[in-house]
Amino acid sequence: MMRVLRLDTPLDAHTFDSRVGAAAGVALQVHPVHGDEARTWAAFHEAHVYHIASARDDLPAHWLAGQALLERSPQLLAVSAYGAGYDTVDVAACTAAGVCVMNQAGSNAAAVAEHTIGLLLGLSKRIAESDRRLRRGERFTRQQAMGSDLQGAVLGLVGIGHAGTRVAALGRALGMRVLATDPYLSPEEITHRGAQSVTLQQLLQDANVISLHCPLTPETEGLLGRSAFAAMKPGALFITTARGGIHDEVALYDALVSGHLAGAGLDVWAVEPPPADHPLLRLDQVLATTHTAGVSAGARRQMAAMSADQILAFARGERPARLVNPQVWPAFIARYERVMGQPFAGAGALHGN
């Protein structure tokens, strides 16, 4: 019996629970985020799979999949992140312990891409700015609210995975030239995904719009700071639907207030939701949402279905299709055999991710 545990964080519970709960050989437990912690810790002690929220601010720190939780979960075999992001998971600690980490990459890519283009159009046409000024009773000329055209502009993507590839296609449909930088992809693959491969420095210098689509990792944390914003074109737009912490919010504020950057579309924040008195929220040239790009109704159903199906495949002895830490495989096989007392059916699947 494969024991799956999740906390009652926001997700499409009906889709996930109906699929996992009805499967033979799988037992699903749902525990409250805030409730009888002793009972929940007892369930972690027996759990084989932990299905975890992808947004850190959905969970108290002690429910994050890190070293402390792993030490109290001796039978844990896999951590399943609800979405494409997995910054609620200490991947290095899981790998060292022999625990698989799987995500749902691509499940909400269409929703994220559409949201990104919504922010892009809102900024370039100054829609939200005009709306705010009108509601405040300001009187201004059309010239003073004039936006910019996207036709012929350069769109720079930092990361061109599932969502970034879709943004590239939508950008080209708007007549934009698309550049991308992604250290995990060859220049040929970036070209195949619809963008010209460039270095990060070239992208900063050449793009009229820069949009982030990379995960938050030790390598990307603080990637765009004061020097990066200074290297961007005067009047450029900055958009992120990735993760808070990849860009420096103070440096971005200074770049906007100085007039060096014309606007920013922000869906992710260092603290979510951002406090009402956050300096960036005072600026009319900032279009703000609160980590909603990937949580449309359709995307939530897709994420729930994909994660349920991947967990059930894992329970049947299949290697996860979206394994974040493929290097864990030998250690995972040893852990599985110790915990379950039998060989893992997919033990020979050493390649692919």
272 is catalytic: yes
Within 10 angstroms of residue 308's Cβ, the number of other Cβ atoms is 26
Within 10 angstroms of residue 41's Cβ, the number of other Cβ atoms is 14
**CB contact at 8 A, 171 and 121:** no
DSSP string, 292-327: -TT--HHHHHHHHHHHHHHHHHHHTTPPPTTBS-GG
Dihedrals phi, psi of 59, to nearest 5 degrees: -135, 140
Of the residues 133, 272, 301, 316, only one is catalytic, namely: 272
3-state secondary structure of 189: helix
291 is catalytic: yes
Q: At what angle do helices 297-315 and 13-21 cross, to 10 degrees?
A: 20
Of the residues 3, 6, 162, 291, only one is catalytic, namely: 291
Tokens of 347: 């033990």
Q: Of 194, 197, 202, 175, which Cα lies nearest the Cα of 186? A: 197
Q: CA 16, CA 254: separation in Å to the nearest integer?
A: 43
Contacts of residue 97, defined as CB under 8 A and 6 or more positions apart, other chains included, come to 70, 76, 331, 335
Q: Of 284, 31, 299, 239, which Cα lies nearest the Cα of 140? A: 284
Of the residues 3, 48, 243, 319, only one is catalytic, namely: 243
The torsion angle over the Cα atoms of residues 251, 255, 256 and 261, rounded to 10 degrees, is -130
Residues annotated as catalytic are: 243, 272, 291
